[in-house]
Amino acid sequence: MMNYMYPSAIGAGCGPLLQSGAAKAASLRLQFFQHVRANGRAARADVARALKISAGSATAVTSDLIASGLLQEVSEQTRETGRGRPSVALEVVPTAAYVVGIKLSSRRHCAVLTDFVGNVLAGVTLPSNNRRRSLQELLDQITSLIDMLVQQAEISVDDIDAVGIGVPGIVDMENGVVRWCSLLQDDDVDLAPAFAVRFDMPLFIDNDTNMLTLAELWFGEGRDKTDFAVVTIENGVGMGLVVNNTLYRGSHGVGLELGHTKVQMDGALCRCGQRGCLEAYLGDYALTREVGVALDLGEARHRTPEDLLDLLFEEAKSGNAAAKTIFRRAGRYLAVGLSNVVQLFDPPLIIISGERTRYDYLFADEVLAEMKTMTLSDVRQPCAIAIRPWDDMVWAHGAAVPAISALSDKLVADCEMSNT
């Protein structure tokens, strides 16, 4: 069962609120559709003013999109008096498509079913484990998640129009190939073709941090920003970057590996095999490998890494000096990483997320102050820091975004072809 209360898109909208260069280059019908979707509801006249088109053009575009089943008219009471003839607004038809978003991880897999405007209709979780598995085993788990969703939502698998999946690893999004993933036994796995054997629907795969970044761009704190960064701290350290309302992936889709930037020459050993990576001081395994030194574990030695981290945090909160030292050290390295993000990309906002946001030592005032002292703050506007309360379902919600976006482009293009 899902434990995250998703905001309704009705009246609130989803997607970027500020137009980017790419949005302005889109066709008029797509711009019109995107404006309505972003605002939740909008009158024809308001859209016409925003897009700087004539009332006649707005009426023609509206007629086409309504006829194609993408937009619908809704009545709204006049805001000033609540009396008189209701005004007519436009909104996206939520039942025009259904999409599944999935986050795969080493502890639990999460999945959501959304409608065409991003409203979450169902959410499920499936236990996972911290070991590598075959492609077929991973597909079995994906199949189970989809089956659980359709059962909860009381729909058919045939009603699903697309699926988005976020994985912890390096992904060739264009070809549907997972170059490396901590969940898979093999590298260069053709996940998309294997998925197509089981399901007759398009699949969109990306790194899980990219999917979380899209969640912030479409549903969260990044909606009113054209540029922002997301930093995640979980088993590893990840980063996502939005530039001009577009997710930046690098030339080969392997950019923004913040966790593997070097913060100490010949430093701690990272799971990537190199030394001195930021992740080697901040990731789960970086904290747990020092637990035995800091605490007299006894029987606790056989606890899971998750339990050991919780124990370490409890000890720090109780005043254990060694436990506090571990978190303070990790916090200082986080300050280094964040200052590097600010120096390199100058974002107006960094959103910090991930399971380790439960440990407030990492985000104490002195950590953020130290980040500021390590940046050239006098010559730039200050970068805001927002802490996103951790919830895997948010990541799954973001995994639905590429599917919703691609379906929107396709359905609006079909509308254009049928009206030319």
- pLDDT interval class at 1 (50, 70, 90): very low
Q: Report the C-alpha gap between 191 and 201 in whole angstroms.
A: 13
Residues 72-124 pLDDT 10s:
999 875 444 455 556 789 999 999 999 999 999 988 999 999 999 999 999 99
pLDDT at 3 over 50: no
SS3 248: strand
pLDDT at 378: 72
Residues 276-293 pLDDT 10s:
999 999 988 888 888 877
pLDDT at 331: 92
pLDDT at 288: 85
- Joined together, the tokens standing for residue 180 give 């490396």
User: 79 or 357: whose pLDDT is higher?
Assistant: 357
pLDDT at 365: 87
Averaged confidence pLDDT in the chain: 88
Share of the chain above pLDDT 70, in %: 92
Q: Report the C-alpha gap between 387 and 389 in whole angstroms.
A: 6
pLDDT at 7 over 50: no
List the Cα angle 409/413/418 in 5-degree steps.
155
What is the arithmetic mean of pLDDT over 346-369?
88
pLDDT at 376 over 90: no
CA atoms within 13 A on the CB side of 412: 22
Tell me whether residue 404 is exposed, middle or buried, using C-beta atoms within 10 angstroms of its C-beta: 0 to 12, 13 to 18, 19 or more.
Answer: buried
pLDDT at 351 over 60: yes
Tell me whether residue 197 is exposed, middle or buried, using C-beta atoms within 10 angstroms of its C-beta: 0 to 12, 13 to 18, 19 or more.
Answer: exposed
Q: Report the C-alpha gap between 149 and 157 in whole angstroms.
A: 9
pLDDT at 299: 54
- Distance from the first to the final alpha carbon of the chain: 46
